[in-house]
């Protein structure tokens, strides 16, 4: 089991965590937008696949996970977003023989454009996104992101 200690990142206004075990190898975004009173979440198709996932990718040398998450959201979905907070759990799993530890960040869409990556992209209500998501990790991250968004909006 990975244990985390929460630390405040005052400069960025984010809650972050320093892992005492696994280090983060990937980062991604749980991106939401508002249309009047409705809140929708972004899902994209995985590369060369019809799996519906959250945008995420490998943390590059010299990058912080927050930077990776913003970059991947822009590259995979053509969305410029602002960071709201890091969700409270990192996800660890093995994909194609590689162990991954993914940090997800709640983000709000600021603007949307085109992307060079040819992926499917959909904005869905939480319930529809939970139904569309291919993997349990995606569903769990979406639920945590929605819980965090509601908590932040209540304060």
pLDDT tens readout for residues 76-99: 999 999 999 999 999 998 888 889
pTM of the entire predicted model:
0.83
Topology of domain 23-154, per CATH? Nucleoside Triphosphate Pyrophosphohydrolase (3.90.79)
Range 84-106 burial, b when 16+ CB lie within 10 A, else e: bbbbeebbbeeeeeeebbbbbbb
Paired tokens of 14? 């984010």
What is the pLDDT at residue 5?
Answer: 29
Residues of the chain with pLDDT under 50: 1-22
Q: Which residue ranges make up each domain of the chain?
A: 23-154
What is the pLDDT at residue 37?
Answer: 84
């Amino acid at each position: 089991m990975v244990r985390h200690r929460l630390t405040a990142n005052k400069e960025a206004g984010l809650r972050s965590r320093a892992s005492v075990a696994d280090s983060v190898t990937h980062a991604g975004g749980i991106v939401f937008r508002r249309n009047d009173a409705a809140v929708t979440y972004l899902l994209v198709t995985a590369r060369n696949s019809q799996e519906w996932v959250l945008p995420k990718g490998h943390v590059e040398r010299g990058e912080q996970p927050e930077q990776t998450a913003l970059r991947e959201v822009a590259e995979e979905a053509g969305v410029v977003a602002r960071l709201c907070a890091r969700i409270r759990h990192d996800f660890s799993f093995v994909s194609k023989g590689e162990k991954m530890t993914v940090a997800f960040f709640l983000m709000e869409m600021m603007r949307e454009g085109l992307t060079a990556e040819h992926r499917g992209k959909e904005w869905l209500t939480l319930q529809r996104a939970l139904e569309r998501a291919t993997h349990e990790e995606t569903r769990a991250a979406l639920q945590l992101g929605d819980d965090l968004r509601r908590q932040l909006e209540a304060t």
